[in-house]
A and B are shown apart, each in its own frame.
Chain A
C-alpha cells in the first residue's frame, strides 16, 4: 500500500508523517506519533474518548483520516498543560475527583476545552449537552460537570485579570 505524506501541526509542533490512505488520525496519533492520550473506545465516533481539536473544531480522531490533517492545526490532551502548569480543567478534574478509571478523561478534557473556548460561561445544561458526545461509565458525570463549571469560573477570573491589566485598570 502506498503511503500519503502529510505535514501538519500537532500541539504547536510541526509533524511530518507517512500513513496509509485509509488510516485514521487516531491511529496516526497513537501509532506513528506516540501520542496515546487519545483513546479508541469504539472506533465509530460514539464514545468521544479520542476527542481532538482540529483547526478549532472538536472532532473524534477515529472519524478523521490522517491524510485529512495536511496543513491543519491539531490539538490533543498532551498539549493542554502549559509546561508544568496544568490547564485549569486538568486542575479542577483532580480537585473534584472527576475521574475514576481515567480512560475517558483525555476526551472529556479536550471536549470541555472546546466548549469553554466557545462559551466561557456555560450553564449546567450547556455543559451537559456539550459533553453528551463523551461517554463515561465510572462517574455518573456528577463530578465531571462540577469540575468543568469550576474550571470555567477560574478561567473567567484569570481572563478578567488579564483584560483589566490590558486596559490599565
Chain B
C-alpha cells in the first residue's frame, strides 16, 4: 500500500503535546456530562431493584404508586414486550434492563417510576409491592460448575444435563501431552481472581424524550451512541432514523459504558408519560446493576527444558459471566498465551452463569486474569530452572511470523522490544530494601477497528470542522485535530473537532477495543485526503489549469511544471474563501471498516513493600513499557498507560465484590469498594515504544487497554518476592497476604 511509506515520514504536528480542544470546558465546569442535561417538563426516574440474589417474581402491584400525586409513569416488564423476534438478539439486554418473571441477581431491576421530583419518585418506589419466592442461588464460579449447583438459567445444558456452563472454547496447537513429556521441569498451579468494577466516577445517566409519534431523543453517557440507538430502537419498536442519540461528555467508561443498562427504561417511561425523563443511577446501583468484570478460577501448567525453552503450556480457565452468556471466558482463552511462541499450547475456557450482575467489558476484557495465571506460572518456572524471569520470557517470546495460540500468525509486533526495554531499564537495577520485592510481567491485547464514519468540512475562512463518530473518552478530539492538521497542512488551532450525534453521521461502532484513535484516525486521514482532492480541483479552476498539474503541499496548492511557474501557491484559506464561486462548500468524508488493528503488547515492572505484621502492601515504584505503534499525542498515550496500570494496581491489591451467604453484594459503595487514591500510588513511569502498525497509514495501534493486563501478575511477583510466598488470589489484600505468610510458616 502507498500509505505504508507514510509511517516512515517525518510528521509536522503529530506527536506534539498540544492542549485539548475541550479543555477549557472541562476545567471550568462547563462540560456537560450525562447528568448535566435538562429538558422542559422533565421527570425524575428511579428504578426498583431486587433485594434477592435469585427469586421468582410472583406478583408486582404498582396500583398504589400509580395513584400517587406527582407520579407520571410506572413501568414493569409488561411495558417492554419482547420485540426481538422471540428471544432473539438483544433479548438478554431486555431481560437485564427489567426482570421478566425471575430476578437473576441482587440489584436486578424489577420496576421503575417517573415522577415530578426525586422525593416523590422514591416514595413511589416504596409503594410498589413485589411478591418474591426466593430460589437457591450461586455466586461462585467453581460452585456454579459443581454437579448439584442451583441452575441460573433453565434450558442451559452441558453434556446433555442442565448446567451453568454456557460455553467451552479451546485454542492452541501442537501436542501438549508430548510437550510435557519432553520437559525437564513442570509447574502446575491454580489461581483465583475476584470480581472488580470499572469504577468510572460518573454513574450511568440519561435524559430520554419520546413523543406519541414514535420520535425520540436520548442524551446519554455512553461509549457507543450508535449502538445504543440500534439496541434501544429495536427493544422499543422504533425506527432507527427517528431516534436521535447524543453522547454526552463521558465521565469514564473503560468498557462499562459499551452496554445498554437502563436507557430503554427511560425511553419507555418517557413514552408512557409523554414527558422527558431523566434517569441517573446512584453509586450503589452502578455497582449492583452495571458492569463488573468476571471473577475467575484458573489452572495453568507449563513445562520447560533446563535451558528455558518451553515445551508445553496448558491453561484451564473458568470465567463467570453473571446470569447471561458472554464471550468472556473465550477472550481469556484467546489472550492467555499470546505473548509467547510455543510449539505445544492449549487453552480451555469455560463461560459459566452465576447469580451476579451481567458481566461487562472492562478494559482488555478477560486478559488480565489469564495473564495473572500464566505470567505467575512463568515466574515459577524461571525460578525453578534458575533463570532470570525477563530472559526466560525473551527465550520464548513471540516474534513476527510466530503463530499465536489463538490462531493468527503475527506481523511486526512489539513484545520483544518491550522486554528488552524492561531488561535495560534502570528500574530493574535499582536496589531493594527489607520487605521489598520486584515483579515484572507481560500483557497482550488484540485491539479492534470496526465501522467508522467521519466528516470534514472546510469553512470559507479556512477553518475546519471535523465531526467524528467515536466517543472521546480522554483526549481523542485533540488527536483527531492533530491528524486533520497534519494531512491538510494547517495549524492545529484551525481545526475544531466535535463528536457527532446519530443523526449527523453514518453508523460508528462503539468506542471499544482501543479503536478510537486507530479507526477514527484512519477515517480522518482519508476524509482529509478526499478534501485535499477537492481543494486541488478548486485551485485548478481558479488557475484555469488541469487538476493533474496541481499538487498539495504544506497547506497550499502548488502548480506543477515550468509553464505554471508564474502561479503563486494558493493556500487552503485562499481556496476556501473562493469556494462559493468555485462550486460551493469544500468537504471530505470517509466511511470505512477499519481493518488491520495492530495487536499491542506491554511489559511492566513493579516494586512493592509489604508490612509483614499487617499484610499491607505499598507500591514503591512502577514502570510501564508499551508499544503504541505511533503516539499521536504522547501526553494522552502516557495517561492511558498510567491509568490502566492504576486500575490494575487496584485490582491486584484491593478491589473486590464481596458477596454474603445470602447472595447479596455487601460493598456497593466507594467506601467499601476502595479504588486506589492519590496517596496510594507513586508516579507511574512510562516508556512509549513505536513499532508501526503496517495496516494503518500513520502506524497507529490502539493504546487504551493493554496496560491493565500485566499489573496483576507483576504485583503478585513483587509481593511474592517481598514475603517469600507465592500469592495466587487477587486482590492481595492484607488479610490474604497475612494468611499466605501464616500458611507458609505453619507448613
User: Is there contact, CB below 8 Å, between B679 and A101?
Assistant: no
User: Is there contact, CB below 8 Å, between B203 and A40?
Assistant: yes
User: Is there contact, CB below 8 Å, between B29 and A78?
Assistant: yes
User: Is there contact, CB below 8 Å, between B283 and A102?
Assistant: no
User: Is there contact, CB below 8 Å, between B201 and A47?
Assistant: yes
Measured CB to CB, the closest approach of chain A to B255, in angstroms, equals 12
Contacts of A49 in B (CB 8 A): 201
A137 interfacial by beta-carbon distance below 8 Å: yes
Q: Which stretch (B147-155, B244-252, B333-341) binds chain A?
A: B244-252
Residues facing A in B362-418 (CB within 8 A) are: none
- How far apart sit A36 and B249, CA to CA, in the bound complex (Å)? 13
Q: A46-B669, A76-B29, A97-B639 are in contact. Are A103 and B683 (CB under 8 A)?
A: no
User: Is there contact, CB below 8 Å, between A138 and B23?
Assistant: no
User: Is there contact, CB below 8 Å, between A38 and B201?
Assistant: no
B549 interfacial by beta-carbon distance below 8 Å: no
Choose one: A41, A77, A129; the contact of B201 (CB below 8 Å).
A41
The residue in A77, A86, A100, A143 that gathers the most chain B C-beta atoms within 10 A of its C-beta is A100
User: Is there contact, CB below 8 Å, between B669 and A44?
Assistant: yes
User: Is there contact, CB below 8 Å, between A39 and B28?
Assistant: no
Measured CB to CB, the closest approach of chain A to B511, in angstroms, equals 12
Q: A78-B28, A102-B26, A145-B683 are in contact. Are A132 and B642 (CB under 8 A)?
A: no
Q: Which stretch (A64-72, A104-112, A155-163) binds chain B?
A: A104-112
Q: A101-B202, A142-B683 are in contact. Are A77 and B678 (CB under 8 A)?
A: no
Choose one: A38, A40, A42, A128; the contact of B29 (CB below 8 Å).
A38
Measured CB to CB, the closest approach of chain B to A125, in angstroms, equals 8
Measured CB to CB, the closest approach of chain B to A36, in angstroms, equals 4
Measured CB to CB, the closest approach of chain A to B690, in angstroms, equals 19
Annotate A16-27 by CB proximity to B: 1 below 8 A, 0 otherwise: 000010100001
* Chain A, Cβ-Cβ closest to B22: A102
B199 interfacial by beta-carbon distance below 8 Å: yes
- B interface residues, tally (CB under 8 Å): 59
User: Is there contact, CB below 8 Å, between B27 and A94?
Assistant: yes
A139 interfacial by beta-carbon distance below 8 Å: yes
B133 interfacial by beta-carbon distance below 8 Å: no
- How far apart sit A84 and B508, CA to CA, in the bound complex (Å)? 36
Annotate A123-139 by CB proximity to B: 1 below 8 A, 0 otherwise: 00101110111111111
User: Is there contact, CB below 8 Å, between B251 and A102?
Assistant: yes
Contacts of A47 in B (CB 8 A): 201, 283, 670
User: Is there contact, CB below 8 Å, between A36 and B670?
Assistant: no
A81 interfacial by beta-carbon distance below 8 Å: yes
B473 interfacial by beta-carbon distance below 8 Å: yes
B32 interfacial by beta-carbon distance below 8 Å: yes
User: Is there contact, CB below 8 Å, between B677 and A132?
Assistant: yes
User: Is there contact, CB below 8 Å, between A100 and B669?
Assistant: no
Choose one: A46, A95, A103; the contact of B33 (CB below 8 Å).
A103
Number of A-B residue pairs at CB separation under 8 A: 184
Q: A39-B202, A138-B474, A140-B646 are in contact. Are A81 and B28 (CB under 8 A)?
A: yes
Choose one: A43, A125, A141; the contact of B282 (CB below 8 Å).
A43
Contacts of B680 in A (CB 8 A): 132
* Chain B, Cβ-Cβ closest to A106: B29
Measured CB to CB, the closest approach of chain B to A107, in angstroms, equals 9
Annotate B166-203 by CB proximity to A: 1 below 8 A, 0 otherwise: 00000000000000000000000000000000111111
- How far apart sit A99 and B33, CA to CA, in the bound complex (Å)? 15
B684 interfacial by beta-carbon distance below 8 Å: yes
Q: A78-B29, A100-B475, A101-B252 are in contact. Are A41 and B642 (CB under 8 A)?
A: no
User: Is there contact, CB below 8 Å, between A137 and B636?
Assistant: no
Contacts of B22 in A (CB 8 A): 102
User: Is there contact, CB below 8 Å, between A135 and B32?
Assistant: no
A35 interfacial by beta-carbon distance below 8 Å: yes
User: Is there contact, CB below 8 Å, between A39 and B251?
Assistant: yes
* Chain B, Cβ-Cβ closest to A125: B679
User: Is there contact, CB below 8 Å, between B639 and A138?
Assistant: yes
- How far apart sit A92 and B32, CA to CA, in the bound complex (Å)? 21
Contacts of A100 in B (CB 8 A): 252, 473-475, 636, 639-640, 643
User: Is there contact, CB below 8 Å, between A97 and B679?
Assistant: no
User: Is there contact, CB below 8 Å, between B643 and A42?
Assistant: no
- How far apart sit A133 and B643, CA to CA, in the bound complex (Å)? 18
Measured CB to CB, the closest approach of chain B to A68, in angstroms, equals 18
- How far apart sit A62 and B574, CA to CA, in the bound complex (Å)? 54
User: Is there contact, CB below 8 Å, between A94 and B23?
Assistant: yes
Contacts of B473 in A (CB 8 A): 100-101
User: Could you give 27 example pairs across A and B, Cβ below 8 Å?
Assistant: A20-B119, A35-B29, A41-B203, A41-B251, A44-B671, A78-B29, A94-B20, A100-B473, A100-B639, A101-B250, A101-B251, A101-B253, A101-B473, A101-B474, A104-B251, A125-B679, A128-B681, A129-B678, A131-B677, A131-B679, A135-B675, A136-B678, A138-B639, A140-B646, A142-B683, A144-B678, A145-B678
Across the A-B interface, give the 7 residue pairs with the lowest CB-CB distance, nearest first.
A37-B29, A103-B251, A100-B474, A140-B646, A97-B635, A102-B26, A140-B642
